[in-house]
Structure 1
Amino acid sequence: MSILQTTASILQLMVELRRGIRISDVISHLGMPKSTASRVMGQLETYGYLEKDEVQGTFLPGPLLLSASHLVSRQLTLSDHVDVALRSLCERTGYTGYISMLDNQEILVLRVIHGRHALPAVTWPGSRSPAWGTSTGRALLARFSDSQLHDFFASPRVLSQLSGSQQNVSALVAAVALARDTGYASAVNESVTDTASVSCAVGDASNSEAVAFCLSFPQTLATAEELQRIALLLKETAINIARKTGDTLINHQF
């Protein structure tokens, strides 16, 4: 194995374990001899790829990696990160993608990425809708604390929206709680007729910005298995973006 392959394997191990790693981890997970593992980890520390926590005895990303990551994060906004990842998902699945944000208790559509599967209706950038009535809205509301969520549903705008609907606040709060627990929200034949969607939300720790992104597809394709498959794809994507933006509110559980 080349030094580049070895370095990539060690860094990938850190990503998979989601923590700092020890030399014993490298030995057990990568099957590397102890002498080789010690030498390689020492070299990676010397060149700045890794940094050792002497108290815990673990290796973490070093100053070189952190500096490069910071440079990239300064060049790309949260929406840019999401856009790149969502375009890949749209190409992979053929479904339509949306990026949205919360604005004055409503969901505001920022970008639309068209897929190969035709939708009964397309929601265009600039469109607004009640946050509680969409999967993207519920994904973003799931990032709220309990007190923030209470204030949201008590706001005059939301009370006005609910007064003309058949929605029950308790059921909506439960739906948001479910999105918080699972890490994603879904909607089938709700705000858009004959359409299904699955959404995740992700934020940027540097500026508290947060956006939701979703895949939308015809309701006829929305089997339980397909909803779960899309949810896993979106959650993996959200977790990967969160690692780049420092978001700590992401639910890592699958």
Structure 2
Amino acid sequence: MTTLENASAVLKLFAQKGIRQGHPGLSFSDVVEQLGLPKSTVSRLLMTMETQGLLERDPETRLYKIGHLLLAVSSHYLSTPLVDAASPYMALLSKQTQCTGYISMLEGRDIMVMRMFPGRTYLQVVTPAGSLLPAAESAIGRAILARYTDSEVVERYREGYRVNSPNSPQTLDELLKCLAAIRESGWSYANNETLLGISTMATSLQNKHRDETVGMCLSFPSPHDGHELPAGIREGILAVTRQLAEKLGDEYWQ
């Protein structure tokens, strides 16, 4: 394998081992085992990747994390005018509600997380920027899909409709009924779907002049049976969405 292929294999190892934001990192032995190369070769490879900004090494644990160069490039890639415009509003809303906030965009039949705003309410699992999740199995994905006509949604799933969560719409017909309800209310709700124990309230926003659509949501621990949503979540995200929609001329919210 070439040096480039070896470096690519190291970066792929972060995904294979589920190393995300907040994880201690990747060890030297992890890389040696994955690449099957002499330790001296791996040592030179990791040193080069660190020098070039592809990796960073914790001086205490000696574990490797994604470097500043990759983070800078991914941040630029994940940046769009609409995402940037919505970010200050979601950051403030996340702080006010103490919920974790997200801004995402549709990528095929998935959503890509563009921004994450940590809340003060503790969540066991968070979804970092750059993550892909099935659109049909998330409140934010369905909020965006509701912007499309039924025929456009059917075309998007022409190769087949499958979901993993038993709490998500199980058939394409069920999804279409769910999207119709979202168009009526303007918001989408998911309970124990993508992540067990986590519920999400979401809306969508569009800048037709740039053909950009994003979903915005708040995530929080799922309410116990018989309990309503925590106060302020639905009202807060609807207020922020309408405020932004007015600035953008998003007729969906008029």
Q: Check whether TM > 0.5.
A: yes
Provide the secondary structure at the position in 1 that maps to 2:223. helix
How many residues are treated as equivalent by the alignment?
Answer: 172
Residue 165 to residue 93, structure 1, CA distance change in 2 (3 Å): closer
Map 1:36-47; keep pairs closer than 5 Å. none
Residue 143 of structure 2 corresponds to residue 139 of structure 1 = yes
Greater per-residue helix proportion? 1
Residue 107 to residue 91, structure 1, CA distance change in 2 (3 Å): same
Gaps of at least 5 residues in structure 2 are 1-79
Aligned to 1:126: 130
Aligned to 1:18: none
Give the root-mean-square deviation of aligned CA atoms: 2.2
Aligned to 2:172: 169
Map 1:79-228; keep pairs closer than 5 Å. 79-154=83-158, 156=159, 159=160, 162=162, 167-220=170-223, 225-226=228-229
Contact 1:90 1:215 in 2 (8 A): yes
**Quick one: which amino acid aligns to residue 172 of structure 1?**
L
Deviation per CA, 1:171-205: give whole Å up to 9, x if none.
11111111111000010111111001100100112
214-223 vs 186-195, which moves further: 214-223
Aligned to 1:235: 238
Contact 1:105 1:130 in 2 (8 A): yes
Q: Distance in 2 between matches of 1:95 and 1:164?
A: 25
Q: Distance in 2 between matches of 1:196 and 1:164?
A: 16
Contact 2:137 2:165 in 1 (8 A): no
Q: Distance in 2 between matches of 1:108 and 1:243?
A: 25
Q: CA deviation at 1:95?
A: 0.5
4+ long deviations beyond 3 Å: 163-166, 220-225
Contact 2:203 2:215 in 1 (8 A): yes
Q: Distance in 2 between matches of 1:247 and 1:222?
A: 36
Q: Distance in 2 between matches of 1:109 and 1:247?
A: 22
Q: Distance in 2 between matches of 1:116 and 1:88?
A: 12
Gaps of at least 5 residues in structure 1 are 1-75
**Quick one: which amino acid aligns to residue 210 of structure 2?**
N
